[in-house]
Structures are given as structure tokens and as C-alpha cells.
Amino acid sequence: MNMNKPLFAIAVIGLIIIALGLVFTSSAKDNFTKNMVDQYKTQELIIAQEVALVLEGEVKGIREKLDLIARLPEVRDGDTQTCGKKLEEVFVGMKERVTNLGRMNASGIFYCSVNKAAIGIDGKQYAHLKKIIDERKPVLGYVLNNTNPSTSLHVPIFDENNTFKGTLGGAIQFSDLQEKYLKDIKFLKQGYVTLLDDNGDLLFHPRPVFMGKNMWSEEMQTATKRNEDLNNMVKAVLQGKSGTASYLFEGKLKVAAYVPAFVFPDRVWGVVVTVPIEDILKSAKVEETFFQINIILLLFLIPVAGAFYLSLKKQGTPA
């Protein structure tokens, strides 16, 4: 009996099955990867929303506390010594939130402060402090001191006749916010949180060298290679939008979720949670799983190839 045709048929069917298997596993891998990335984007979004709510509550709490302190008679009407003594007393309960308490008079000169070195400084040299002197409304500053980024929040002080008496404010260190709220956020191996001001300043980044830098500066645009996807994401979050995005940074494809934190009237901080796709794939053992499947298909190829070889060999042998 001539076995050429059965062997050949088996070989062809086997090769078709293997080819379909390879196509299927490739498609399955792509779909699985997409689903995993989408799941992690959702998780990132949840984390970013939680961080935003915490930051909003933190800044709101500082402002409310300053409003209460500003109403104390010793702070509102006291001289340098009286005011200073009271600020030192209340600072005990505030030092977890601010690194200084300072009182400016109606002309913008600090005359009372926990940090005695600040007394006599003209606060109007800082844009946000000039603004509160001019407009007499609470104000949150932008980044001060790029080597150790900080800002300050000031509230106006009025007497019983609603006469403007000056301001009271506290310094906020972004390293303190990181220590309290960001350092324990772990997202896979290389995931991290970034915090931006609405003018593009990096308030927090896990790389200290980026802290205080502006995203639109030549330095940062060079570091990010002017990545359009990354720039568009930053623009979106600083416009008060939330969502997810993918971008390339230092040769790694990353996925991120971004959420605005409305920390102050007309002000927004952007919260971005990002992680490399390679971390997502490693966590789900995607490459390992589909590598094993392909090995199984290749092992199945051996007997199929043998059958195909025998069928070809028999074609040259008389029946």
C-alpha cells in the first residue's frame, strides 16, 4: 500500500495547525497585553484620583488653619514680640504641615515670624505675596527655591472694622508632601507618581534632579526629547482634564494616568501615575507564558516535519 498520500496529508494538516497556532498565539498575546495595559491604566487612574483628593484636603486644611490663626488678637493686632510668641505657640500644631509661619504688615513687610531671619524682608518681591497685598485675597504661590522646591500659602488679615492689616502665611515643602503622602506609593517595580504645578513646574519627581524644573524649559524638553505624547499629556492635566496616555521616555514605552488636583481657587496641580509597559508584562508573566506555548508548538513541529520528510522520501520510491 502506498503511504505517500496519508503521510503527506498528515504533514500538511499538521503544518496548517502549527501555522494557525502561531498566528493565534500572536493575536492572543497582543489582545492579552492590551487588556493588561488597560487594567493597569484603570488602577493608575484610581491611585491618581486618591492622591489628588489627599492633596486637595491637605492644602484646604492649611488654609483653614491659617484663617483661624489670623483671627487671634495677638497675631492680628500684636507687635513683633507678642505676635512672634503666639506664632511659636501655634506652630507646634502646624509644623507637620508648614515649615514656617510669617506675618506681613499691610505694606508687605514681614515683622513677625517663627523664622526670625525673615523679619524685615519685603514680601512684595515675590509675585504671589505682592498679589495678596494688592488684591487682599488668599493666595498660593508657585515654586520657590529650585534646589528644595517649596511654596507658601497666605491669607489676608482684617480687623473688626474690615480694615486690611496684612497677611499670615506658611511655607509648604514639597519634600514634606512626598514624605507624608507619596513615598509609600508602590506601583510595580518602576512605577511612580509625578506632581506638577499648573505652570508646568515639577513639584515632585522621584529623580531629585528634575525637582523644581519646568516641563517647558529647554532643559526638560531636551531630557524628554520633546516627546509630543508626553507634552500633550502634561497640557491636558494642567488644563484640568483627566485620562490615560502612552509615551516613550528614555527608550521605554510607558503608560500613565493623569488627574487634576484642584488645590486652590483658579489653581490646579497635576497628578501623574506612570509605569513602563515592561513592568506590566513581567508582572503578568506574558512573555514567559507565550514563550512556553510557542515551544510546545515547535515541539509538535518535529513529528510533523518527520512525517512530511517521509512522505517526500516515499515519492521517490516505487510502490
Q: Where are the domains of the chain?
A: 61-176
The pLDDT assigned to 129 comes to 95
CA 43-45-50 angle, 5° bins: 100
Is it the case that residue 114 has pLDDT exceeding 70? yes
Q: What is the mean pLDDT of residues 61-68?
A: 95
Please write the tens of the pLDDT for every residue from 232-278.
Answer: 999 999 899 999 998 888 888 888 899 999 999 989 999 999 888 88
Residue 189, pLDDT > 70, answer no
Give the CATH fold of the 61-176 domain: Beta-Lactamase (3.30.450)
pLDDT score at 187: 65
User: Which residues lie closer than 8 Å to 124 by C-beta, 6 or more apart?
Assistant: 108, 130, 133
Closest CA relative to residue 224, chosen from 253, 204, 250: 250
Q: What is the pLDDT of residue 15?
A: 59
Contact 263, 190 (CB under 8 A): no
Range with top average pLDDT, 2-16, 26-40, 121-135, 294-308: 121-135
Give the contacts of 22 (CB within 8 A, at least 6 positions apart): 294, 297
Q: pTM for the full model?
A: 0.76
Distance between CA atoms of residues 161 and 148, nearest Å: 40
Confidence of residue 32 (pLDDT cuts 50, 70, 90): low
